[in-house]
A and B are shown apart, each in its own frame.
Chain A
Amino acid sequence: MRNGNYNQTLNAGAQKTQSRRNLMSWLLTAPALIWLILFFLVPYFIVVIYSFLTPDIYDVQFEFSLEAYRQALNLQYLSTFFQSFRLAALTTLLCILLGFPVAYYIARAKDKVKNTLLVFIIIPFWTNLIIRIFSWRIFLSYNGVLNDLLMRSGLINQPLEIMRTDLAVLLVMVYVYLPYMILPLYSVLEKLDFTLLHAAMDLGANEIKAFFRITLPLAAEGIFAGSLLVFIPALGAYLIPQLVGNQRSLYLGQVITYKIKNIPRNWPMASALSLTLLVFVAILLVALFALYKRSKKLRRV
């Protein structure tokens, strides 16, 4: 009996500490939770509601309508979606191709050099994005630095029309998003055991085979993470196409902005386009994640 009592008091005590701990963790997470609900979930909810309403000149009429979604899925907007997807995909691909050698080099460099190089990767973040885009405008423009250099070196006779083309958009996109690719790649390559490459070469693989059979599969996680970090923001890019692109080929971010900026405003349309993009991305992510999980699962037979 005494023993039972003792156990009971022990349990009661444990429960008390447990509930106190629960309360503490709730209190600690509360600020972030409230912040997210107020400034993330509520606005998103408003967007969802607006997408089902009828547009008015400045605002919306509270009248249910599916018109916005019907329009969002017609050919004109689908081609905009395609345009944005293509840009994001190309940006991601170029970032992988350019970022991999850089990340590899940094990962293999000596500690001192490594840190210096990493600082160089991070330095662009210290300057405002708009300033950096404007400096690209100066660099790429008709009478700009690039054309001047090419003319002087005698490679071309006529200045190139790069500014305000899709090429310019792609160039600046890659420039802006490259660090987001390099950093996750660096983090996986840094952990890579380079004696594995020696082992592969020892077993008869030349440098190229060793790369494709050892380095690349082991860096897959970094490529995946980097691609997410580049692809998703690149899909909704607004600033870069707006500042260095042209108005003939609009990207999704621009179209959404114009729906709200230009009068008559079309809030439902802008909301519907945003949500359609969200759904596309979500489907893509779920598919990619399933693929990734399956490859992991295959490893654990």
Chain B
Amino acid sequence: MEEIRIENLTKDFDGFLAVDDVSLSINSGELFSFLGPSGCGKTTLLRMIAGFEIPAKGKILIGNTDITDLPPYKRQVNTIFQNYSLFPHMTVFDNVAFGLRIRKTPKLQIIERVKEMLSLVKMEDQANKYPDQISGGQKQRIAIVRALINQPKVLLLDEPLAALDLKLRQHMLIELMNIHDAVGITFIYVTHDQGEAMSISDRVAVMNHGKIVQSGPPDDIYERPASIFSAYFIGETNLITGEVIGIEENYVQLKCPDGAGNSLELDSTFNFPPYLGQELTLSLRPEKIAISRSKPRYQDDINVLKGTIEDILYLGSHTQYIVRVGALKFRVFSQHKRVYFDDKALDWDEPVWLFWHDTDSWLINQIPENVLSFNELADGGVNHYQRSSKRPYQA
């Protein structure tokens, strides 16, 4: 079932390691995403699979054939480029027919296949238009069928939705999924947009500095991040470092200094063998935390902290609270549901209780090395270590 295998793939540009010893395999029919910030090497990796970059080291196999040294036009791989790269001097029809004409397919067959492809994306009536006469979403569709008509084993998509506006992007995302289901070939999708990657992928590989940091199904990556980078890059999270003071079968007790002279004792789940005295990082998603004026009545398997609201950001679907506990700051998302909510809205500087279930936090076998690189990742986010907060506005 394995379609693509990548072995120790390495690529450098004048000494800069764009892709650093990457190995992985992608299954047949899978929708696999590479997710990472710009410059993480995901596009370079894709271009090597397509044949536009020659790897410095390593191998790429499709099926059982080594394609590492094949030129792009001899690979059973097609690419959707970021700006679609439709040929401006050809009609929609000619664009789609390009691959077949190159292979000298009989004319009648070309007409039939192109029509079939255009009907797949409901563009039959646009066949005679030129690329500059159709909309962005339509260009996207044409780029997809222009590639699919060649019946590739693998379709590579390089940030295919980056040039579209938000609503269209959501729409095309669903359409891409439908096309993937309809044709059943392997899709490799490259994006920096976690939302895109999470929603359509069977599996995601998170990349940073040319390496795959973590790969797996989207929920696995979100709920059980293997590194500080994947915890921070995907979604939002609170990270707290602490020392292991107790190990039970299902959870670890962590002693976390709050930076103001006190220690918090927090319980969390894990999937690696920790030892007493080990320094670890706890990742806690903001939406997992409950916020309330009153102390929770039941406290079995629940972590409870007392803090003060420092910032309130109304975000429509939810409100983001920044709550100070000692010198630490917690980000908390709270949805606007009256049933679970205190009658009166929470206010600035109000003392509140934060609580969450033990199994809703996750331990990472890593401690942040340097706060700076951390801040770069957390664009506008709260840092739990040293950064002092500035109020965006005063209530």
Residues of A participating in the B interface, judged by any CB pair closer than 8 Å: 193, 195-196, 198-206, 209, 213-214, 217-218, 299-301
A193 to B83: give the CA distance in the assembly, Å: 10
Q: Is the CB of A206 within 8 A of B71?
A: yes
Name the prevailing secondary structure of the A interface residues.
Answer: helix
Q: Is the CB of B73 within 8 A of A205?
A: yes
* A201/B73 contact (C-beta < 8 A), A218-B88, A218-B89 known: yes
Q: Is the CB of A203 within 8 A of B146?
A: yes
CB distance from B368 to the nearest CB of A (A): 39
Residue of B78, B83, B86, B89 touching A202 (CB-CB under 8 A):
B78
- In the assembled complex, 18 residue pairs joining A and B whose CB atoms fall closer than 8 Å, in A order, are A195-B81, A195-B85, A196-B85, A199-B79, A201-B51, A201-B71, A201-B73, A202-B50, A202-B77, A202-B78, A203-B99, A204-B73, A204-B99, A206-B73, A213-B102, A299-B130, A301-B91, A301-B128
CB-CB under 8 A from A301, the residues of chain B are 91, 128
CB-CB under 8 A from A300, the residues of chain B are 130
Q: Is the CB of B102 within 8 A of A204?
A: yes
Q: Convert B160-203 into 0s and 1s, putting 1 for each residue whose CB lies closer than 8 angstroms to a CB of A.
A: 00000000000000000000000000000000000000000000
Q: Is the CB of A214 within 8 A of B87?
A: yes
* A203/B89 contact (C-beta < 8 A), A195-B81, A299-B130 known: no
How many inter-chain residue pairs (CB < 8 Å) link A and B? Answer: 62
A235 to B301: give the CA distance in the assembly, Å: 94
Q: In residues 46-85 of chain B, which contact A (Cβ within 8 Å)?
A: 50-52, 71-73, 77-79, 81, 83, 85
* A299/B81 contact (C-beta < 8 A), A198-B72, A203-B147 known: no
A269 to B87: give the CA distance in the assembly, Å: 52
CB distance from A39 to the nearest CB of B (A): 42
* A193/B89 contact (C-beta < 8 A), A201-B71, A201-B72 known: no
State whether the Cβ of B103 lies closer than 8 Å to any Cβ in chain A.
Answer: yes
Interface size class of B (residues with CB under 8 A): 20 to 34
CB distance from B150 to the nearest CB of A (A): 6
CB-CB under 8 A from A200, the residues of chain B are 87, 98
CB distance from A193 to the nearest CB of B (A): 7
A299 to B132: give the CA distance in the assembly, Å: 11
CB distance from B390 to the nearest CB of A (A): 41
CB distance from A198 to the nearest CB of B (A): 6
* A199/B81 contact (C-beta < 8 A), A204-B150, A209-B102, A301-B128 known: yes
Q: In residues 295-316 of chain B, which contact A (Cβ within 8 Å)?
A: none
A199 to B150: give the CA distance in the assembly, Å: 13
* A217/B89 contact (C-beta < 8 A), A203-B78, A204-B102 known: yes
A214 to B87: give the CA distance in the assembly, Å: 7
User: Which of A199, A202, A218 has the most chain B CB within a 10 Å cutoff?
Assistant: A202
CB distance from A220 to the nearest CB of B (A): 8
Residue of A with least CB distance to B84: A199
Residue of A193, A205, A213 touching B85 (CB-CB under 8 A):
A193
Q: In residues 101-130 of chain B, which contact A (Cβ within 8 Å)?
A: 102-103, 128, 130
Given A199-B85, A201-B51, A218-B89, 18 more pairs with CB closer than 8 A: A193-B85, A198-B72, A198-B85, A199-B79, A201-B71, A202-B79, A202-B147, A203-B73, A203-B147, A204-B103, A204-B150, A205-B102, A206-B71, A206-B73, A209-B102, A214-B87, A299-B89, A301-B91
Q: Is the CB of B83 within 8 A of A203?
A: no
CB distance from B25 to the nearest CB of A (A): 23
Q: In residues 184-243 of chain B, which contact A (Cβ within 8 Å)?
A: none
Q: In residues 342-362 of chain B, which contact A (Cβ within 8 Å)?
A: none
A199 to B158: give the CA distance in the assembly, Å: 12
